A and B are shown apart, each in its own frame.
Chain A
Amino acid sequence: MTAAPGMRDLVHRLLVYEAGAAKASEPLESPTLRVYEKLRQSLGEFVGVAGFYSLASRALALAKPEAPSLNTTVVSGDGALQGLGEIQTQIDMNKDPAGEGGIILIACLLGLLRIFLGEALTLSLLRNAWPGEVFDDRNSVHGRNA
């Protein structure tokens, strides 16, 4: 499974939102990690730690062929990502301004949710973690105008 363009688009919007939110509080933390941690927290409550670990490890396995930079990344038992932070700090932002590996990973994670729960329920769960303006019809997980 490759991360669908529409899903990547949604992840981009989440990253943009988190990048803006991070400026004030934790400027050193990468937006990718912030998005992932928010997902871990909100989905973890819903599916449990073990449930989130299962989904995240599957998403990582799906993302690695598409993003070799994730080869050293692992999901720990509590669902946290290990290794992504280092990658993010090493990324040459000129070459990979969006941190493509992290985007692919999160897109795969959301893609799994969409497969299991459908688009409507996936968006409902995401709306619990992010404000409504991040989501509108143009940001359907099927992609814009898809």
Chain B
Amino acid sequence: MSTQDKVKINKLPTGVPGLDEIVGGGLPEFSFNIIAGAPGSGKTTLAHQFVFANATPERPALYFTVLGESAVKMLRYQQQYTFFNPAMLPGSIRFINLSQVVLEKDLGAVLEQITKEVEKANPAVVVVDSFRTMVRKPESDMDLQSFIQRLALFLASWQATTFLIGEYAEDELRDNPIFTVADGLLWLRQTAERNSIVRKLQIIKLRGQDSVPGLHTFRITDAGVQAFSRTFGLTARKRNPPSDRRLSFGIAELDKMLGGGVREGDSALIAGPSGTGKSVLATQFIAEGIRQGEPGIVAVFEERPQAYAERAASLGLDLETPQKDGKLTILYLRPLDLSVDETMHSILDAVQKIGAKRLVIDSLAGFEMALAPGFRADFRESLYRMIFALTGIGVTILSTVEVDESFTEFPFSTYSISFLTDDIIRLRYVSIDGQLRKIMVVIKMRGGNHAKDIREYEITSEGVVILGKRLANYQGLISGIPVHSDRPDQTEEPSLDTGIEHTT
């Protein structure tokens, strides 16, 4: 069958930010859906958002309430959400209570009542909340199966998009006939992880279109449910082709060590112990970008934006003006129960808002601490998705990570995430001539040449300053306790020819 012969299934907006992306562009019109989950997981709120997004006076929504939460209390609470528009009741959204017929009669009478209301109102959307309480006493499984099938058939025939809301347990998935009949099955989960609540949703089933698989974080705020796709809403975005352009740190010697700078679209990592100047380098990187007309984002977790800007000012770097000019956003993300997806959402919003080309994450340790404990286990995997998504749209990421200094090892990062980065700059302390000095070395650059020199540097009032010569007359520098060798100091500046290796 050719494409033009196929029926086009309209996709209805869910009214839930982020959810349309997850369900493949919207929920199929006339579909018969289940919203399942534990009490308090946001089922009713999600249904309300769909209803308010789609109901019209011509094609209203019928919201059948059954037992459980009364309609008065439900609306008392739901109207606190910003999406709630009281003017839509009852013209576009009608609440109908079915408690009486459910309590006093059988499923046949319930179906008859729903049929009567649907035929009268010609609704575009029908919600039954909670369906679980409606079918709590079927005379037999056959009654239940027959009821569900007749209900689904009737509502689809009347061109209604339907949501049945229920408090189901996951072990019911196999045996409950409702899950067989349903076109879509949205499962909302809520778990306590130490002191944080972690909410995730899953599209277990969705007929007729692709949805994004897996568990997606969601949050309930005064705007209602907000979902955060695992793909960060970038599935429709085409990945930028690799670029050969190099982004400068504004530190000439470091740029030389990097073969001209960080390649555009790379994920670079600065690793080193506390006090070695990771944040200073990151600040210089972002400031140089702004100087060259490349807007930037700094995501900070360990200090507030004002303090970050003040520290930059002490290095002669003005981060206040570009913030006022919309060229720089300093995001402070530290509510301690974030998911990576939410953090990403904030970062992406900022990236898109100012057209950022450079992103600094300072630091990964702070980032991890800002996450709810339940998300920390997935930190590396989440970081991978985040970096892949951002670099794919051409953003160059510079992350900092603190590593424990050891005089026996030379780890690149505490998180074993070096595989996630294209470029690694390693900073460390060394003991030389009775002084604790600082050295840096470029460990890897995935996309090109870099120097293999070990260079000494200092942090001055002008930021990181790389001292003139590579330390040729010491052995074992990376151990932190080098031994002076008899070789004379190299007197020439390191050149790309002598100090370059090619890694891929």
Question: Are B100 and A49 in touch, CB under 8 angstroms?
Answer: yes
A110 at the interface (CB under 8 A from B): no
Question: Are B89 and A45 in touch, CB under 8 angstroms?
Answer: no
**Given A46-B90, A51-B70, is A121 in contact with B99 using a C-beta cutoff of 8 Å?**
no
**Given A46-B97, A47-B97, A117-B79, is A124 in contact with B90 using a C-beta cutoff of 8 Å?**
yes
B75 at the interface (CB under 8 A from A): yes
Inter-chain contacts of A113 with B (CB < 8 A): 72
Within 8 A of A (CB), among B50-101: 65, 70-73, 75-76, 79, 86-91, 94-100
Within 8 A of A (CB), among B92-137: 94-100
Tell me the bound Cα distance from A120 to B79 in angstroms: 10
Inter-chain contacts of B95 with A (CB < 8 A): 45-46
Inter-chain contacts of B98 with A (CB < 8 A): 48
Interface of A, secondary structure class, is helix
Query: Would you give the 0/1 interface string for A108-131, flagging 1 where the beta carbon is closer than 8 Å to chain B?
Result: 000001001110110011001000
A1 at the interface (CB under 8 A from B): no
Min distance, Cβ B170 to any Cβ of chain A, angstroms? 31
A50 at the interface (CB under 8 A from B): yes
Question: Are A47 and B89 in touch, CB under 8 angstroms?
Answer: no
A55 at the interface (CB under 8 A from B): yes
Min distance, Cβ B78 to any Cβ of chain A, angstroms? 10
Question: Are A117 and B90 in touch, CB under 8 angstroms?
Answer: no
Question: Are A49 and B96 in touch, CB under 8 angstroms?
Answer: no
- Known interface pairs A48-B70, A48-B100, A116-B72; 11 further A-B residue pairs with C-beta atoms within 8 A, sorted by A's residue number: A44-B97, A46-B90, A46-B96, A47-B70, A48-B99, A49-B99, A49-B100, A50-B100, A116-B73, A117-B79, A128-B90
Contact pick for B86, options A48, A51, A124, CB 8 Å? A124
Min distance, Cβ B310 to any Cβ of chain A, angstroms? 46
Within 8 A of B (CB), among A4-56: 44-51, 55
Tell me the bound Cα distance from A50 to B99 in angstroms: 8
Nearest 6 interchain pairs by C-beta:
A48-B97, A120-B86, A121-B86, A48-B99, A128-B90, A124-B89
Using a CB–CB cutoff of 8 Å, the interface residues on chain A facing chain B are 44-51, 55, 113, 116-118, 120-121, 124-125, 128
Min distance, Cβ A67 to any Cβ of chain B, angstroms? 24
Chain A, residue nearest B102 (CB) = A48
Inter-chain contacts of A51 with B (CB < 8 A): 70-72, 97, 99
Using a CB–CB cutoff of 8 Å, the interface residues on chain B facing chain A are 65, 70-73, 75-76, 79, 86-91, 94-100
Chain B, residue nearest A113 (CB) = B72
Tell me the bound Cα distance from A117 to B94 in angstroms: 15
Inter-chain contacts of B79 with A (CB < 8 A): 117-118, 121
Chain B, residue nearest A48 (CB) = B97
**Given A117-B75, A117-B76, A117-B79, is A48 in contact with B65 using a C-beta cutoff of 8 Å?**
yes
Question: Are B72 and A47 in touch, CB under 8 angstroms?
Answer: yes
**Given A46-B97, A48-B97, A121-B79, is A55 in contact with B72 using a C-beta cutoff of 8 Å?**
yes
Question: Are A121 and B75 in touch, CB under 8 angstroms?
Answer: yes
Tell me the bound Cα distance from A44 to B86 in angstroms: 19
Chain A, residue nearest B65 (CB) = A48
Inter-chain contacts of B88 with A (CB < 8 A): 124
Contact pick for B76, options A44, A48, A116, A128, CB 8 Å? A116
Chain B, residue nearest A46 (CB) = B95
Inter-chain contacts of B100 with A (CB < 8 A): 48-50
Inter-chain contacts of A50 with B (CB < 8 A): 99-100
A-B contacts, 23 of them at CB < 8 A, read A44-B97, A46-B90, A47-B70, A47-B71, A48-B65, A48-B70, A49-B97, A49-B99, A49-B100, A51-B70, A51-B72, A51-B99, A116-B73, A116-B76, A118-B76, A118-B79, A118-B86, A121-B75, A121-B79, A121-B86, A124-B89, A124-B91, A128-B90
Chain B CB within 10 Å, residue with most, of A47, A48, A117, A121: A48
Inter-chain contacts of B72 with A (CB < 8 A): 47, 51, 55, 113, 116-117
Tell me the bound Cα distance from A49 to B75 in angstroms: 17
Tell me the bound Cα distance from A44 to B96 in angstroms: 8
Question: Are A125 and B89 in touch, CB under 8 angstroms?
Answer: yes
Inter-chain contacts of B97 with A (CB < 8 A): 44-49, 51
Min distance, Cβ B130 to any Cβ of chain A, angstroms? 14
Tell me the bound Cα distance from A14 to B95 in angstroms: 23
Inter-chain contacts of B70 with A (CB < 8 A): 47-48, 51
Inter-chain contacts of A128 with B (CB < 8 A): 90-91
Min distance, Cβ B80 to any Cβ of chain A, angstroms? 10
**Given A125-B89, A128-B90, is A48 in contact with B73 using a C-beta cutoff of 8 Å?**
no
Tell me the bound Cα distance from A45 to B76 in angstroms: 17
Tell me the bound Cα distance from A46 to B100 in angstroms: 12
Tell me the bound Cα distance from A116 to B73 in angstroms: 7
Chain B, residue nearest A123 (CB) = B86
Chain B, residue nearest A120 (CB) = B86
Question: Are A125 and B90 in touch, CB under 8 angstroms?
Answer: yes
Inter-chain contacts of A55 with B (CB < 8 A): 72
Min distance, Cβ A68 to any Cβ of chain B, angstroms? 29
Min distance, Cβ B40 to any Cβ of chain A, angstroms? 21
Inter-chain contacts of A49 with B (CB < 8 A): 97, 99-100
Min distance, Cβ A28 to any Cβ of chain B, angstroms? 30
Inter-chain contacts of B89 with A (CB < 8 A): 121, 124-125
Tell me the bound Cα distance from A47 to B71 in angstroms: 5
Tell me the bound Cα distance from A51 to B76 in angstroms: 14
Chain B, residue nearest A128 (CB) = B90
Tell me the bound Cα distance from A47 to B97 in angstroms: 6
Contact pick for B87, options A48, A116, A118, A120, CB 8 Å? A120
Tell me the bound Cα distance from A143 to B89 in angstroms: 22
